[in-house]
Amino acid sequence: MERLFILLMESLMNEGYLILSDGSIFKGKIFGYPKMTYGEVVFNTSMTGYQEILTDPSYRGQIVIQTYPMIGNYGINDLISESNKIQVAGYVVRHHEKIPSHITSEITIDEFLKREKIIGISDLDTRSVVKKIRSKGVMNGVIYKGLDPEEGIKFLESVPSYDSLDLAEGVSNKESLNIKYGKSSKNSLYKIAVIDCGVKENILKLLNKRNCEIEIFSSNFDLEKLKKYNPDGILISPGPGDPKNMEYLVEKITNLTNDYPMFGICLGHQILARSFGANTFKLKFGHRGGNQPVKDLISGKVYITAQNHGYAVEAKGISNDLEITHVNLNDETVSGIKHKTLPIMGIQYHSEASPGPYDNEYVFDEFINLINSKKDNN
């Protein structure tokens, strides 16, 4: 009886709720750091790669649900993080493993969230939550620890809309920090300016792998400082939020398109498209996972890709200067563009993976080819 009483009290002490803005309430158990949080509630269908998801800057301002039922089984190793901290606002799982089994594991996922002061909730019906999001669309939510959800409901009424926030500014390096990354100039073949809207570590590693010197500029960079650096090419990184809130970056990129080869990934792809007059729109529940099929319209090949975005480029508004090169086969949204005469390309998916299939690293080689073509023509 005493043991049962202790278990009951522990269960009550960890009780909490995921509350959605449509009034839905899901009861579960709190793990990680027990601080109430809010964000746009989204889901990711990847079976592995939870640490990369947690540390991906593109998830800033979002509560992420993992559809795979067991998370944390191989633990946490700081070497595979995609940024220097957890970026999600909150984390929702069916089950989190308390005893991970992997030789490289350093801490549990519960300990990771505690260390980074991020709340998680488990032991709820994640399938039911995901079905609701798929039918109604993404919405704001709150993770709340307590026996009575009323406080969480009141808190949710006061939170801002995800669409109204410039979230990239919060994850971008500040303007005073034009950071050099990786190999020095004497060992490199190319100088790349990375516009940091929430760049992932593996993007920088893959550029270094191709003998690139990298200088990282903020999303609100100084135009003259970038020109002074005189890069061989510009990469506009992925990041969080609605590209419509980043017209300051669209304007800067518009001023540079005639001078440098450019490569945009995810949000960077959307920024590039908008710089040529295209429109972007919000998807009902987005594409987030490691199994999204994309067709290359030039080669006819189909690739399985990693994706993480809630916005897309509108096909009918694309400029005559641009060509659609890739489409998502699930909903036929634009997944790639290139300029017809300038060395400029963009992809909506994540060729750097992390997590996801590495089949699409070749896109970085295509960016290098654009740079070489520009050099050959000068």
Q: Are strands 190-196 and 233-236 parallel, antiparallel or unpaired?
A: parallel
Encoded tokens for 377: 């023509």
Q: If DSSP codes are grouped into helix, strand and coil, which group holds residue 12? A: helix
Residue in 82, 201, 213, 352 annotated catalytic: 352
- Nearby residues of 162 by Cβ (< 8 Å), 6 or more positions away: 39, 40, 61, 62, 138, 140, 241, 242
Residues in the chain, how many?
Answer: 378
Using only C-alpha atoms, the chain has a radius of gyration, in whole angstroms, of 21
Beta strands in the chain (DSSP E): 15-20, 25-32, 37-44, 62-66, 70-71, 90-92, 95-96, 119-122, 139-145, 179-181, 190-196, 212-218, 233-236, 262-265, 280-296, 302-313, 322-328, 334-339, 344-347
Cα–Cα distance measured from residue 140 to residue 243, given in angstroms and rounded to the nearest whole number: 19
At residue 225, the 3 state secondary structure works out as helix
Q: Which residues sit opposite 350 in a β-bridge?
A: 306
CA distance 64 to 319: 34
For residue 16, give the nearest of 110, 119, 129 by alpha carbon: 119
Instruction: Select which of 266, 269, 326, 339 is catalytic.
Output: 266
Nearest to 52 by CA among 27, 10, 83: 83
Judge whether 266 counts as a catalytic residue. yes
Among 289, 240, 237, 287, CA closest to 50: 289
Is 352 assigned a catalytic role?
yes
Q: Are 313 and 278 in contact (CB under 8 A)?
A: yes
Active-site positions? Answer: 266, 350, 352
